[in-house]
Structure 1
Amino acid sequence: MASYNNFHELRLRALPDDYAVVHLPLSSSPLPSCPAGAPLWSLTVSAVEYSLVLREADTAALQSPGIQVSGSWAAFYLEGPIPFNLTGIIARLTVPLADAKVGCFVVSTFDSDFILIKKDDCGTALNAWQQVGITTV
């Protein structure tokens, strides 16, 4: 199986806008829909909640009781596609952040991954990635 060591360069592309991670209770109805042209919008359903990642500006339209919003996230897209048999990609992105005491939120898609960092921690995150050879644009 291929590992991240065989993947010579990881490139993260910063997305425009600030993002939010939102908790919606299971009682939320109707569920929000994706605005046209959103560079990142993700709804995850679990047995206990809905989690939504969207542009922070789009949270104003959410009107559900019990909603919790964590804003001021910067989003980075891992340029892909990334093959499923390539292992260790998330570790390669997050271990330098953990070493630098930077929290993150990760969203994976079929082709790639998005990693969200609190805006206040972006400088530290960019430096940590640069030190391990991860390119950010």
Structure 2
Amino acid sequence: MEQYNLKLKVLDGLFCIFRLEPFQVIPKWATAGTFFSITRAEEELSIVCSQNSVPEDIESQMVCENGWKCLKVEGPLDFSLTGILARLSSALADAGVSIFAISTYDTDHILVKEVNLENAINALVSHGCMIQ
């Protein structure tokens, strides 16, 4: 696996991860905030969005996990680079930190539970990453 000097930034705020039925309409509140991700697959509609944008009565009506922090790999990353997610996920797996990964055209995002953030940062720094 190639080695890169990866820089990550912890995004402000907390995030929720929702699972909806694949045919459901994307809620307007899901697209509020500076970072959100929506993926529709045959089996599900997955939404990652700012926890602050979620109406209070919604969480009890949907399958969701709240309390996530997002670490963004500073990009853009060239498509020829290999092993970036493997390096990050291996470091976090070794530290016992569960992740939810999202890739975009320019970069990768790793979500970890807020209670595991300090442990995640320590693990990534010990594997040569820089954290903002």
Question: Does the TM-score normalized on the shorter chain lie above 0.5?
Answer: yes
Aligned residue type for 1:12: L
Deviations 1:10-67 (A, max 9, x none): 0110100100111011242x312412xx221110011010000000112217859962
TM-score by length of 1: 0.87
| Partner residue of 1:51 out of 27, 46, 51 | 46
Structure 2 residue matching 1:87: 3-state secondary structure: coil
- 2:37 is aligned to 42
Which position in structure 2 is the counterpart of 1:20? 16
State the superposition RMSD in angstroms.
1.9
Corresponding pairs, count: 130
Counterpart CA distance in 1 for 2:68 and 2:62 is 17
Q: Which amino acid aligns with 1:125?
A: A
The separation in 2 between residues aligned to 1:101 and 1:129, in whole angstroms, is 12
Q: Give the C-alpha shift of residue 69 in structure 1.
A: 1.0
Q: Secondary structure at the match of 1:103?
A: coil
Structure 1 consecutive aligned stretches of length 4 or more whose deviation exceeds 6 Å: none
Asked whether the 8 Å contact 1:75–1:114 carries over to 2, the reply is yes
Q: Which amino acid aligns with 1:13?
A: K
Q: Give 2:13's aligned amino acid.
A: D
Contact 1:11 1:136 in 2 (8 A): yes
Name 2:71's counterpart in structure 1.
76
Cα gap change, 1:119 to 1:65, in 2 (>3 Å) = closer
User: Any conservation in 2 of the 1:43–1:53 contact (CA below 8 Å)?
Assistant: yes
- Equivalent residues in 2 for 1:113-124 (5 A)? 113-124=108-119
CA distance, structure 2, for counterparts of residue 80 and residue 13 of structure 1: 10
Identical residues among aligned pairs (%): 30
Q: Distance in 2 between matches of 1:133 and 1:114?
A: 17
Unaligned runs of 5+ in 2: none
Q: Using the alignment, how far apart are the partners of 1:58 and 1:4 within structure 2?
A: 38
CA distance in 2, matches of 1:117, 1:77: 11
